[in-house]
Amino acid sequence: MVDSLPLYWGNLSCYIDDGNIHIDNNAAERRIKPFVIGRKNWLFNQTPRGENASALLYSLVQTAVANNLEPFDYLKYLLTELPKLGRHYEPEALDQFLPWNLIEKVKPLM
């Protein structure tokens, strides 16, 4: 193991050359923690449709968090405004519901 250290020294020390590279992956670990916790809850999904619904909801919540929007308010806005589009709409009509387009309409994450 120690013999191979010179081979990987460049990879190990690259974070010194670039301040944007982190020495650890704590941020990534924190991001996936809810998935790990949710795994036990997902055991109770009885059907594939239930699994898809859970995944969709979880994806929306994480999208809101990633865009600094309050998840409850984001979901409330989507579930209130999306039905107003009706059954037939152009795909471009969904652009107005993208999180970065809702910064002034949905409360920011505290």
Residue 20 covered by a domain? no
Is 17 within the bounds of a domain?
A: no
Answer whether residue 92 is part of any domain: yes
Looking at the 3D structure of the chain, how many domains does it have?
A: 1
Tell me whether residue 65 is in a domain. Answer: yes
CB distance 81 to 44 below 8 Å: no
Single pTM value for the model = 0.63
Give residue 69's domain range: 26-101
**Per-residue pLDDT, 73:** 95
Does some domain include residue 8? no
Q: Tens of pLDDT along 78-92?
A: 999 999 999 888 989
Q: Is residue 39 part of a domain?
A: yes
Structural domain includes residue 9? no
CA distance 2 to 99: 48
Q: What are the pLDDT digits (tens) for 36-66?
A: 777 666 676 778 887 788 888 888 988 899 8
**Any domain includes 77:** yes
Class of residue 60 by CB neighbours under 10 A (exposed 0-12, middle 13-18, buried 19+): middle
